[in-house]
A and B are shown apart, each in its own frame.
Chain A
Amino acid sequence: MSAPVETRWSRLSNFWSDFRQSPVAVAALVVIVSVVLMAVLAPLVAPQDPYNQETLDLFDARLEPGEIGSGGYVHWLGTDAAGRDVYSAILYGLRTSLIVGVLAGTFALVLGAVVGLLAAYYGGRVEALIMRVIDLQLSLPAILLALVLVAMLGQGLPQLVAALVAAQYAYFARTTHGAASAERRKDYIEAALSTPIPARQVLFRHLLPNALPPLIVVATVQVANSIALEATLSFLGLGLPITQPSLGSLISNGFQFLLSGRYWISIYPGIALMLTVVAINLVGDQVRNVLNPRRSR
């Protein structure tokens, strides 16, 4: 009997049957999918466009959760000081937060992977120099680097993403370098390099896919970290302005009302943030467990 051929499809279905062993991780995945759906469909789902000044009415300011405003619909999560429906604001805020998180995560992944691969491929002095810089950067906390960069670049979405990428690519570089330098010494890479295939192709077609699993794990966690870091910066008043709010700026916007008992303006966006970040982390944890080659099968 011949062994079943491992196709991409069967690998994926194996992965899924391993993944769903953990009910918590599956629940977390459901949370992520619904959060993403709600964010994408925000204009259709939200009762109000919270940033269209014409739909806002100051008479609706600071309504408690469950009250009915002048729009004639129930504000399930209350309204803020400008009369924005908190639920709608959260949906739009989620959009911004997810866009920032995914963009920063993706760019950091690409940059980090290229830097790590080059270090592993060239070896010697180049490798030593690159990894020295990476180690140095990793020894400084990401929040500090992001803080400096945001202060330098100014406010706005592209600047924020750039700061997050610069603060986080080092994790990807470190991981890629670790995985790639282990693969680099294996025979199939030596064999591929001895053929006339260009080195670039060997690097990206052969080396990268085999160094990918740990990178995927880091990527999930880093998306969550980007979202949290962006929220933190926005809360500190250095991220996105309230005209283009993320969950962080919404929480910051409601902070001053917290002490007077109007908890809903910042607590509900905070719960949305927490759910998103924790769910991504839980999924990342399970992906790590499944992809871990040391795990007994």
Chain B
Amino acid sequence: MIGFLIQRILQALLVVVAMSVIVFLGVYAIGNPIDVMIDPASDQALREALIHRYGLDLPLYQQYFVFMNNMLHGDLGESFIYRLPVLGLIFSRFPATLELALTAVLIATCLGIPLGLWAGYKPDALSSKAIMAFSVLGFSVPTFWVGLLLIMTFAVELGWLPSGGRGPTTEFLGMNLSITSLEGLSYIILPALNLALFKLGLLIRLTRAGTVEVMSSDYVRFARAQGLSEGKVVGLHVLKNISIPIVTVFGLELGSTLAFAVVTETVFNWPGMGKLIIDSITVLDRPVMVAYLILVVFMFVLINLVVDLIYGQLDPRIRVKASS
């Protein structure tokens, strides 16, 4: 187990380093940030001074080493636009994105697993067909478009919920959150629903596919022959056996929820990390772009690692294979 763990951590580190090189080179290949920062009419001396100050006159590999060295000391640079340390800037937006993503995942799980179980338990029922049609819509219709429909229906036509923004936040565990107050909740419902839809479609399909397969297996037949109630058969035997693929895919999807929040946050004007990165790309705020991307990759690698470990816990067969 320890060997497996070390191997996975080394792999993860390698990925982060490789991605940091790619992101650094990629982002730094775009234009000259000095042109964005200063007035085009300002004189050459000021230009040179700024270029020197940001170390942009060094060869690219040296810039990379300076950057990595600073990063390991927790310094990811300063935003060209906000004139604030990037790390602080991103983290100040983090609670908004986190609560949005977690609410979305919660919605998707609470709806997706029961719906998928039902669709797999009674595959020929009309209700199951309706659920499956809904799931196809869920992951084929672009997120931003569903967001627009939600705004138009619930905010413009019905006037039930606010159309965007985050509303009032209350402080909880040192973070400013919306979900902790009733009014804040009304602001998070639409964006969270929007973000949940894709996962919901995916989760329904995954759960259904697993259930259909497991329902025809011997141990379900024996469990029934044993006289167990249908509720116990499904809740105990079926759910347990379909949980592995669901946990895996869902763990991986948690990361993509954070990535997809970019779209939802833009539609609903939600002041999270996603909105920050889109704004940064449009104004070429390189330090924010680089830091955001490296953090996201890091998060992804971390999530993959955790999923791998949970996977091993859920299914002893994998642990055995890995250690042999």
Closest Cβ of chain B to A57, distance in Å, is 27
Interface size on A, residues (CB 8 A): 36
Q: Which residues on the A side are within 8 Å of B229 (C-beta)?
A: none
Does B142 contact A232, Cβ atoms closer than 8 Å? Answer: yes
Question: Contact mask B258-279 → A, CB, 8 Å, 1/0?
Answer: 0110110010000000000110
A147 on interface, CB distance cutoff 8 Å? yes
The residue of chain B having its C-beta at the shortest distance from the C-beta of A150 within the complex is B281
A228 on interface, CB distance cutoff 8 Å? yes
- A-B interface contact total, Cβ < 8 Å: 97
Does B148 contact A251, Cβ atoms closer than 8 Å? Answer: yes
Q: In the docked arrangement, what's the CA distance between A169 and B140, Å?
A: 19
Closest Cβ of chain A to B216, distance in Å, is 14
B61 on interface, CB distance cutoff 8 Å? no
Instruction: List which B117-169 residues lie within 8 A (CB) of chain A.
Output: 136-137, 140-145, 148-149, 151-152, 155-156, 163
Does B156 contact A231, Cβ atoms closer than 8 Å? Answer: no
A33 on interface, CB distance cutoff 8 Å? no
Say whether, besides A148-B26, A236-B278, A141 and B259 are in contact (CB < 8 Å): yes
Closest Cβ of chain A to B30, distance in Å, is 6
Q: In the docked arrangement, what's the CA distance between A235 and B263, Å?
A: 9
The residue of chain B having its C-beta at the shortest distance from the C-beta of A24 within the complex is B133
Say whether, besides A151-B289, A152-B27, A285-B136, A143 and B259 are in contact (CB < 8 Å): yes
A273 on interface, CB distance cutoff 8 Å? yes
Q: In the docked arrangement, what's the CA distance between A154 and B260, Å?
A: 21
B210 on interface, CB distance cutoff 8 Å? no
A270 on interface, CB distance cutoff 8 Å? yes
From B155, B263, B293, B297, give the contact of A143 (CB < 8 A): B263
A191 on interface, CB distance cutoff 8 Å? no
Does B137 contact A151, Cβ atoms closer than 8 Å? Answer: no
**A/B interface sample: 10 pairs, CB < 8 A:** A136-B15, A140-B300, A148-B23, A148-B293, A231-B144, A232-B143, A235-B266, A255-B148, A258-B148, A278-B141
Q: What are the 8 closest A-B residue pairs judged by CB atoms, nearest first?
A: A141-B256, A281-B140, A228-B142, A141-B259, A151-B281, A144-B259, A235-B144, A152-B26
